[in-house]
Chain A
């Protein structure tokens, strides 16, 4: 075994995939990509590729789970077996269970659930290729799928991971930076509400680094938010023209 240290960032501050520290990977957003669902979206962030789809509001199964005062939000974050380097076993891992929970909680913060008592809204996030930032890209996609399904939300959710690699605070970690870097902080914001809806940190930040990372995340999220809105406008302006 050789101890080859991977350099994640060089002297000029250029990262392993050629990006600058405050640069996002190429972002591609498509809306309405899966026909059978009520709303869907596809998000590609570099090599991270994700489908999200929404069903509902619809009848709750089993019925006894229905809530009298609002809709039930169900969420499943799942990775395909071939989305990672080593085949992921079928079924839900503990990581997927945790991420399903934090994604659900992030969405519950913005959906007007009380508009649809006794129903369920089901959100499915399928990661088809994982290269870092899947929960955040998944949320970005899921909020667009909700919007396409016509479910009222207080704001879109835009999300990104920030982190620290070799002492530098960087935006939108790729897989290698996540694995070998010193910190990974996924964060999702409802920009219009100035509120954080998902926040996790795995790694080490001083107080100052945390502040800097949060600022950088907000910048990245602003960029993603603009692209989300643009994608929605493109999608629906097309439809309205056809209908004219």
Chain B
């Protein structure tokens, strides 16, 4: 059962007025322009026991992603492919608005939106993760934890998942006489695409990207747009109540493509990947 969240507080409504007035002048509370993204930092390999991990911050929001691999059977409708699942948890230490317990609908939504971007872009070559057709394949468990929440946990989550995937070292198994053996070696997942998401916040007829927490609580609507390196839109999710004016969408997609390219450049620069 999905239940209404607490409505905007009175302070949020006052802040909204202020944010809107700033937006009209092309400004924001923290001095950014409406389409600026906060500084991005990426640390990979922080968790040695994970097969891949990344700690990503975007401004004050911090996301930790870890990947664990297991062997299992492929899905019956995709016998020649390995698989992956994405989970997300909003940890109670990240914000007073997160509570302990199983992932709530926000966590489920985050996991599913990131999952869609990764899946649609086909960035993981799943056929390479199959060991014995129809019987054994690698399964990647990609787990997202929100560690510190200062607005917008979608974009850094996607960045962290890609950083963990790009730097993951997966234990290699081989098939000898029909049996699976660990080789003691590791292999890299050569990513075939780098899909990033860009989160938009809308107040009246103005929009901004990468809302920080004060802005986020004052938004009318928010929308996440995922883009790939070939300038395709690969995922969209309107993730809040509210009316999204139709005429803003086209412009938002332009900006999403532009900002996606910016994040991709940053990502490659920090991880020293050539594209």
| A residues adjacent to B (C-beta < 8 A) | 1, 65, 67, 69-76, 94-95, 97-98, 100-106, 108-109, 113, 185, 189-190, 193-207, 210-211, 214, 218
Contact = CB atoms under 8 A, between A and B. Distances in A.
Interface string B210-250: 00000000000001001010011111111111111111011
A75 B249 contact: no
B238 A199 contact: yes
Interface stretch (B38-46, B48-56, B105-113, B180-188): B105-113
A207 B233 contact: yes
Given A205-B233, A207-B231, A207-B253, A97 B7 contact: no
Contacts of B249: 196, 214
Given A105-B241, A204-B120, A98 B112 contact: yes
A89 to B, nearest CB: 16
A102 B241 CA distance: 8
Contacts of A108: 4, 241-242
A101 B2 contact: yes
A72 to B, nearest CB: 5
Interface of A is mostly: mixed
A197 B2 contact: no
B72 interface: no
Given A202-B120, A207-B257, A211-B250, A102 B238 contact: yes
Contacts, number: 126
A222 B235 CA distance: 24
B275 interface: no
A203 B2 contact: no
B6 A67 contact: yes
21 contacts: A67-B6, A75-B1, A75-B2, A94-B108, A98-B105, A101-B108, A105-B239, A108-B242, A109-B241, A189-B246, A194-B245, A196-B243, A196-B249, A200-B237, A201-B234, A202-B116, A203-B120, A204-B120, A204-B232, A206-B232, A207-B257
Contacts of A200: 236-238
Given A72-B3, A203-B120, A194 B236 contact: no
A76 B105 CA distance: 12
Interface residues of B, number: 41
A195 B202 CA distance: 13
Contacts of B60: none
Nearest to A197: B243
B35 to A, nearest CB: 17
B116 A195 contact: no
A94 B1 contact: no
A53 B79 CA distance: 41
B206 to A, nearest CB: 15
Contacts of A70: 7
Contacts of B250: 207, 211
A130 B257 CA distance: 34
A179 to B, nearest CB: 9
A214 B247 CA distance: 11
Given A98-B108, A201-B235, A207-B257, A65 B242 contact: no
Interface in B241-270: 241-247, 249-250, 253-254, 257
Contacts of A106: 241
A210 B2 contact: no
Nearest to B119: A202
A205 B228 CA distance: 10
A226 to B, nearest CB: 19
B248 to A, nearest CB: 9
Contacts of B236: 185, 199-201
Contacts of B226: 201
